[in-house]
Structure 1
Amino acid sequence: MTHHHIVNHEQWLEARTRFLAKEKEFTHLRDELSRQRRELPWERVEKSYVFDSEHGKETLADLFGKHNQLIVYHFMYAPDWDIGCKHCSFWADNFNGIIPHLNQRDVSMVAISRAPLAKLKEQAREFGWTFKWVSSADGDFNYDYNVSFSPEALAQGGAPYNYGTQQATRSDLPGISAFIRVGDQIFHTYSTYGRGVDMLNTAYHYLDLAPKGRDEQDLPFPMAWVKHRIAYES
């Protein structure tokens, strides 16, 4: 950092203005990509999925509440784990405050994990999370949406993940899925995995604006620094 290029204000402003043009180009490209995402075809949800929630058994339709769109965060928490994934927890720390805003745009949001509901409730209490978090338990939901993988598949050297661009080597991985309800029918509109979930991490986007960025290039792997929020030393 001490060897960074130092200039006067006029030179700084000139460089910043040139970069602004690139930022605007990226913004327009992102807007176009979002438009194309909305135009992707939908697939009808044919199965009847049931989840364990604080209100008892709930169907996928129940998770919409009074809204017609649903965002699902696939939270990595296998039934035999003592606590949910620290990286998913990093993402979940961003959820509480945004959900009332999503509701104003006809969107509900829920996290879904395979761990028992009691474990989910305990972690939510400890972390101060109030967002809806339900258990898919031993149902097919996580497997059908490519975020959980059977021991048999893993034993064969891995299972396809992220549309076959990666191989899963553990039982649970993260993802985000979107659904829409039209009358009494539900459609799956979109799912993203791997780096695709990056868009939902506010903290990372703030780090991208900081002088050192995410500063992960010398770590064993990206996010090696991440801990559960309550485990950081102050």
Structure 2
Amino acid sequence: MNAITSPENAVVSREEWLEARRRLLQLEKEETRLRDRVRAERRALPWVRIDKDYVFRAADGEKRLADLFDGRSQLIVYHFMLGPDWDAGCTGCSFHSDHVDGTLAHLNHHDVTYVAVSRAPIEKIEAYRKRMGWKFPWVSSYGSDFNYDFHVSFTPDDLAKGTVHYNFTEIPREQAHDELPGLSAFYRNGKGEVFHTYSTYARGGEELIGTLMILDRAPFGRNEEAIMDFVKRHDEYEPAQASASSCCH
């Protein structure tokens, strides 16, 4: 269980609390309106046609990028950090992926397919998927330029240069790794043409992690010193113990 650092919030009357809460509500409404503006700008982004023939390996054989749509017109690719020589998937990517399976029926019904892509061979992906108990589609880009073209994987030569291109800028080698996280969106039209419509990196996909959104409303929030420093793979947590102050006895 993550150690809780208790803040020293003021204790006030109900009337004072309501006044403070209404002030916060105005900020929350501003945030909602800004989020709506950002979403509109995201939908209005220009697109880039994908002309390269990317080949992936799935558990049931070889697939092209257009095949990953699985008959739908929209595709979300999660760039899952699992390199060819890694023993396990990234902890943060695993945390994200714990939230995916329950959304698949809703996404598919809305003409959206979700697929995770990693550079690890498909055998390693399938072994880790079995360990984690996930059902979402997950393919290997091993031997493909896909991860490199979308700036989520880096060669030793890339890393030796001192900076790498990530999140639409150059970042220092110290902040980089051979694999980094991201999410990309694609559209496939009636003629079978595929377009890249959007990508986000670093903390850009944070809103997809429902646990964080719930924690943000809890009394102590995320209670972290570094980003997601409390997160472990879900089979690595110690058994949760009921709080001594629990109302359930």
Alignment counterpart, residue 208 of structure 1, candidates 190, 211, 216:
216
Residue 180 of structure 2 corresponds to: 173
Amino acid at match of 2:195: F
Contact 2:54 2:144 in 1 (8 A): yes
Give the SS at the match of 2:76.
strand
Is the 8 Å Cα contact of residues 161 and 167 (structure 1) preserved in structure 2? no
Query: Tell me, which stretches of 5 or more residues in structure 1 are unaligned?
Result: none
1:33 deviates by 0.8
1:70 alignment partner, one of 54, 75, 82? 75
| Equivalent residue letter for 1:175 | G
Partner of 1:45: 50
1:126 aligns with 2:142: no
C-alpha offsets along residues 17-58 of structure 1, whole Å, 9 cap, x if unaligned? Answer: 221111111101100110011001000001011110022001
1:130 is paired with a residue whose SS is coil
Deviation readout 1:100-149 (Å, 9 max, x if unpaired): 11111110000000001011111111111000010001100000001001
Alignment pair present for 1:156 and 2:168: no
Amino acid at match of 2:177: R
Q: Among the aligned pairs, what percent are the same residue?
A: 49
Task: Report how far residue 167 of structure 1 moved.
Answer: 3.6
The normalised TM-score by structure 2 is 0.90
- Contact 1:160–1:167 (Cα < 8 Å) also in 2: no
SS of match in other structure, 1:122: helix
Report the alpha carbon displacement of residue 14 of structure 1 after superposing the two structures with TM.
Answer: 1.8
Shift of 1:165: 5.0
- For structure 2, the 5+ residue unaligned runs are 1-5, 240-249
Matches within 5 A, 1:48-197: 48-164=53-169, 166-167=171-172, 169-183=176-190, 184-197=192-205
Taking only aligned residues, the RMSD between alpha carbons, in angstroms, comes to 1.2
Residues 176, 197 of structure 1: 8 Å contact kept? yes
Give secondary structure in 1 for the equivalent of 2:57.
strand
Specify whether residues 2 and 119 from structure 1 end up closer, same or farther in structure 2 by C-alpha distance, changes over 3 A only: closer
Q: Which residue identity does 2:28 align to in structure 1?
A: E
SS of aligned partner of 2:72 = coil
Matched, 1:32 2:37: yes
2:187 and 2:195 in contact (8 A); partners too: yes
Q: Which amino acid aligns with 2:51?
A: E
Number of matched residues? 231
Query: TM-score, normalising length from structure 1?
Result: 0.95
Instruction: Give the match for residue 199 of structure 1.
Output: 207
Q: Which runs of 4+ in 1 moved over 3 A?
A: none
CA shift digits 1:179-222 (9 cap, x unpaired): 001121000000000111212111111111111111113xxx32
Shift of the 123–34 alpha-carbon distance from structure 1 to 2, 3 Å rule, reads same
CA distance in 2, matches of 1:167, 1:19: 37
Tell me which amino acid in the other structure corresponds to 1:192.
T
SS of structure 1 residue aligned to 2:124: helix
Q: Which residue of 1 aligns with 2:243?
A: none
Q: Does the 8 A contact of 1:71 with 1:178 survive in 2?
A: yes
Give the secondary structure class of the aligned counterpart of 1:209: coil
What do residues 140-183 of structure 1 show as CA deviations (whole Å, max 9, x unaligned)?
Answer: 00000010011101012231211115345211000000000112
